[in-house]
């Protein structure tokens, strides 16, 4: 516990809010972004949660984010809208997109809202899950902000790990929430292996000769592998077409690598789809069918050594409950980084806020 | 050429039309199904084309298909509809669904049409591609008609290879058309390996201990592998929730294995989504952006030994052009099967029609 002292989520959220305000976000916007970053951490998406404060700060200070964006609908029909994020924080853009998609789906049964000139918005499932609060199915597509994937058979990294998330409401069971990159491993996992001095399993990466690459320190010499080989390449491209190209957002060589460029407008593209099950029939009957499916999958006979069959999103759901009760366990290195950040910017430390 | 004498596509279509009429389909419906089966063959989806005539006939004769279905909209909002296929041929149901989705998307920007009480409708891309004729993006989801996939870590085959197709219109380039099962290999490919006496590559199937299964003759002892491991399991489940559960169609243990049961109503679920790029901006500008992306992916530096980088759907597109010009090359075994079928049902042979 001394290594991983748990901090109540509201305290983490207060810290993030204060930090983002110091960085120049209006109070209300800072609160929204902090809340979503905390939610990401709560569900175990630690690569997209609190750890992002420092890179966001770097980009904000470099002038790469518009702190007073005019986020507005630039195209609209009954069941769709295209939002111009005006280079604001992606969380603000996609929260607005999700709310609009839900409102339109309430009227039309289904709605699709795309965004351009957005930015990194955290884990894909955050926005798909927003639809759950309205008893709707949510889907989310995004173009990643760094290209680590070549076309199948190619060497030029022109595609990102473009994620998909889908959230489906259940009745008594936790919602089914898929949140996946279209590569076997996300790039963050490679970096984590390198930090721990571990080898990667065969299948995560290949080198420029197409041979398995298992030394994460050599990651720069190779590429991530798409799931299912050429299928994952196709999925990454399609997600990019739907979330990027359709919205007039960056795709392919237009993608700005936000790890190496803090200034250029990323023109990030994302899309959210809301589907109202109530339009397709009785909502409660739908939820009961989801429960039934979940229970029969979970009750399947198991392979030797398998303790439990998990539904997509079920482990995140369990983590959220523990974190709500016990607080967030931030790794010591991250705590130290946050303390240094707070001292640097002249605000109270996480433990004192 | 004697082994694989090419037959002009219209002749194949006439044969299929006549055969389906003999089986009892109304003339117009027979023509629609035959046309779509021929199109499947044209694009190289040979597992879903002409080869299906005999299993369809078996099911029709057993009374497992309603030959006079009242296909009707049972739920509707501006951007969605739910179609009851009344156990008719899936092609008829999903053609109607695609047309309705396009009409609604023209009004609303985006539309989603689901179906229940449908049946096998051929390759997923057929219906996604229907949107292309209207300059729209098409997406298609379906629940497969045989379960070959357990939940991740499980042994009970409760999921099918539930496919996804997405078709995106381009300008001068061929459209980008992804059509993929959520398993590494479709079950038909396993059967083909067994027929040819070949071994399967590691990764297609595993046995009940989780060990690689490479002998296709032992296929019944194991399962298909989902793409990307647990990710593909999640995708297969989500596709099933969207195409099956949402529509009140069969999913999980409710799925009827149409290889072993010709009588029970399959209650097949499918869904089609039409997205009008013109609602998001200028259609021509969108198509130009798709062209640009396709060209830069294709121009990527290649791995040693790779001759060309293909876009999703580009090989089917090329095949369609060759088949249109030169006719369809049906394998001798299939030709013999069709001849036997024609003699049995008392109609002209393919070569004479």
| Integer Cα distance of A195 and A17 in angstroms | 29
Which residue of B178, B243, B247, B288 is the best one to mutate when testing the A interface, meaning the one whose CB has the most A CBs within 10 A? B178
What's the gap in Å between the CA of B288 and the closest CA on chain A? 10
In this structure, are strands B110-118 and B80-84 parallel, antiparallel, or unpaired?
A: parallel
Q: What is the pLDDT of residue B338?
A: 96
Query: Which of A97-111, A131-145, B23-37, B173-187 is predicted least confidently?
Result: B173-187
Residue A286 has pLDDT above 50, yes or no: yes
CA neighbours within 13 Å on the CB side: how many for A222?
A: 23
Burial of A189 (0-12, 13-18, 19+ CB in 10 A): middle
Which of A111, A137, A153 lies at the smallest CB-CB distance from B110? A111
- pLDDT band for position B220 (50/70/90)? confident
Cross-chain Cβ contact A80/B110 below 8 Å? yes
Q: A119 with A241, same domain?
A: yes
Mutate: best of A76, A100, A108, A232, partner B, most B CBs <10 A: A108
Would you say B91 and B32 are in contact if contact means Cβ atoms under 8 Å apart?
yes
Say if CB A222 and CB A207 are below 8 A apart.
yes
Two structure tokens written together for B226: 């989902």
User: How much is the pLDDT for A46?
Assistant: 84
The verdict on A243 and A164 lying in the same domain is yes
Instruction: Please tell me whether residues A230 and A166 are part of one structural domain.
Output: yes
Shortest distance between the Cα of A345 and any Cα of chain B, in A, equals 41
Per the structure, the complete domain to which residue B105 belongs is given by: 72-181+229-280
Are the Cβ atoms of A296 and B168 closer than 8 angstroms? no
Q: Where does the pLDDT of residue A4 fall: very low under 50, low under 70, confident under 90, or very high at 90 and above? A: low
CA dist B198 and B334 (Å) reads 20
How far is residue A139's CA from residue B179's CA, in Å, rounded to a whole number? 19
Give the minimum alpha-carbon distance from B111 to chain A in angstroms, rounded to a whole number. Answer: 7
User: Do A37 and A115 belong together in one domain?
Assistant: no
Q: In the beta sheet, which residues pair with residue B192?
A: none
Confidence of residue A115 (pLDDT cuts 50, 70, 90): very high
Q: How far apart are the CA of A28 and the nearest CA of chain B, in angstroms?
A: 29
Q: Where are the alpha helices (DSSP H) in A244-282?
A: 277-280
Tell whether B12 is covered by a domain: yes
Pairs across A and B, CB distance < 8 A: 259
Distance CA A297, CA A313 (A): 14
> Do residues A15 and A96 share a domain?
no
Task: With CB atoms and an 8 Å threshold, state whether B252 touches A293.
Answer: yes
- CA A158 to chain CA centroid, Å, is 20
Instruction: Using CA coordinates, name the residue in chain A closest to B78.
Output: A108
Residue B352 exposed, middle or buried by CB count within 10 Å (0-12, 13-18, 19+)? exposed
B-chain residues near A234 (CB < 8 A) = 178, 180, 312
Q: Tell me if B23 is assigned to some domain.
A: yes
| Nearest alpha-carbon partner for A148 in A191, A194, A116 | A191
CB crowding A221-232: b at 16 or more within 10 Å, else e: ebbbbbbbeebb
Determine the Cα–Cα distance for residues A333 and A320; give it in Å rounded to an integer. 22
The pLDDT value given to residue A60? 98
Per the CB < 8 Å rule, is B231 touching A231? Answer: no
DSSP summary character for residue B312:
T
pLDDT over 90 (residue A23): yes
Task: Residue B131: count other Cβ atoms within 10 Å of its Cβ.
Answer: 28
Smallest CA–CA distance from A241 into chain B, residue: B290
Would you state the structure tokens that stand for residue A89, as one six-digit string?
A: 């924080």
Angle ∠(B120,B161,B159) on CA atoms, nearest 5: 100
pLDDT at site B2: 46
Integer Cα distance of B114 and B80 in angstroms:
8
User: A77 vs B312: CB contact, 8 Å cut-off?
Assistant: no
Which residue on chain A is closest to B82 by alpha carbon?
A280
Nearest CA to CA, how far is A59 from chain B (Å)?
A: 27
Q: How many CA atoms lie within 13 A of B308 on its CB side?
A: 7
Task: Give dist(CA B124, CA B141) in Å, integer.
Answer: 7
Q: What is the CATH number of the domain that holds B188?
A: 3.30.60.50
Q: Give the DSSP letter of residue B25.
A: -
Number of domains making up chain A: 2
Are B204 and B240 in the same domain?
no
Q: Which of A245, A254, A301, A304 to mutate to test the interface with B (most CBs of B within 10 A)?
A: A245
- Residue B127 maps to a domain: yes
Q: Are residues B84 and B152 in the same domain?
A: yes
Regarding whether B164 and B15 lie in a shared domain, the answer is no
d(CA A103, CA B253) in angstroms, rounded, equals 35
Tell me the torsion sign for CA atoms A297, A303, A308, A312: negative
- Using the 3D structure, point to which of A262, A280, A298 is the last residue of a domain: A280
Alpha helices in chain B (DSSP H): 9-22, 27-42, 53-61, 90-108, 124-130, 187-196, 230-243, 277-280, 283-298, 314-326, 332-345
Of residues B150, B281, B292, nearest to A75 (C-beta): B281
Q: How confident is the model at residue A162 (pLDDT cuts 50, 70, 90)?
A: very high
Q: Report the length, in residues, of chain A.
A: 353
CATH number at residue B23: 1.10.1530.10
Q: Please tell me whether residues B107 and B151 are part of one structural domain.
A: yes
What residue of A is the nearest CA neighbor of B234? A312
Give the CA angle between residues B123, A227, A257 to the nearest 5°.
120
Q: Closest Cα to residue B66, out of B13, B25, B8?
A: B25
Pick from B103, B81, B110, B281: nearest CA to A78: B110
Query: Can you read off the two tokens belonging to residue B100?
Result: 């309705």
Quote the CA–CA distance of A102 and A338 in Å, as a whole number. Answer: 35
Question: Does residue B317 lie in a domain region?
Answer: no
Residue B213: inside a domain, yes or no?
yes
Q: Helices A230-243 and B283-298 meet at what angle, rounded to 10?
A: 150
pTM for the full model? 0.96
pLDDT digits over B72-112, tens only? 999 999 999 999 999 999 999 999 999 999 999 999 999 99
Tell me the mean pLDDT in the region B140-152: 95
* Complex-level ipTM beyond the 0.85 threshold: yes
**Domain identity same for A150 and A273:** yes
Asked whether the predicted pLDDT for residue A1 surpasses 80, the reply is: no
Is residue A270 in some structural domain? Answer: yes
Regarding whether B188 and B173 lie in a shared domain, the answer is no
Report if residue B77 sits inside a domain.
yes
Please, are residues A186 and A179 in contact by the beta-carbon 8 Å criterion? no
Specify whether A36 is located in the same domain as A166.
Answer: no
Q: Is residue B16 part of a domain?
A: yes
Binary contact (B75, A245; C-beta < 8 A): no
Which residue of B75, B150, B275 is in closest CB contact with A281?
A: B75
Chain B residue with minimal CA distance to A204? Answer: B228
A231: which residues sit within 8 A by CB, 6+ positions away? B180, B227
């Amino acid at each position: 516990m001394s290594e991983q002292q748990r901090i109540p989520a509201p305290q983490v959220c207060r810290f993030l809010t204060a930090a983002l305000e110091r960085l120049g976000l209006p109070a209300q916007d800072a609160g929204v972004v902090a809340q979503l970053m905390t939610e990401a951490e709560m569900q175990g998406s630690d690569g997209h949660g609190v750890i992002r404060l420092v890179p966001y700060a770097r980009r904000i200070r470099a002038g790469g984010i518009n702190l007073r964006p005019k986020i507005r609908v630039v195209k609209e029909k009954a069941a769709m809208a295209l939002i111009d994020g005006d280079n604001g924080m992606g969380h603000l853009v996609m929260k607005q997109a999700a709310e609009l998609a839900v409102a339109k789906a309430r009227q039309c049964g289904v709605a699709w809202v795309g965004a351009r000139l957005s930015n990194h918005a955290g884990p894909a499932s955050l926005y798909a899950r927003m639809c759950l609060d309205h008893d709707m199915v949510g889907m989310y597509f995004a173009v990643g902000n760094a290209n680590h994937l070549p076309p199948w058979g190619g060497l030029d990294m022109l595609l990102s790990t473009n994620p998909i998330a889908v959230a489906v409401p259940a009745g008594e069971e936790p919602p089914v929430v898929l949140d996946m990159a279209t590569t076997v491993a996300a790039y963050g996992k490679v970096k984590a292996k390198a930090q721990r001095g571990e080898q990667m399993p065969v299948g995560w990466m290949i080198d420029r000769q197409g041979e398995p690459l298992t030394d994460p320190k050599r990651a720069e010499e190779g590429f991530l592998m798409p799931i299912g080989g050429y299928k994952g390449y196709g999925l990454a491209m399609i997600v990019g077409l739907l979330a990027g190209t359709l919205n007039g957002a960056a795709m392919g060589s237009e993608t700005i690598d936000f790890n190496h460029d803090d200034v250029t407008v990323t023109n990030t593209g994302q899309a959210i789809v809301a589907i109202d099950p109530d339009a397709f029939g009785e909502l409660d009957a739908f939820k009961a069918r989801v429960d039934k499916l979940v229970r029969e999958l979970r009750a399947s006979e198991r392979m030797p050594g398998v303790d439990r069959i998990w539904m997509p999103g079920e482990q995140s759901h369990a983590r959220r409950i523990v974190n709500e009760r016990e607080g967030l366990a931030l790794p010591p290195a991250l705590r130290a980084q946050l303390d240094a950040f707070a001292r640097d910017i002249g605000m109270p430390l996480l433990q004192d806020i």
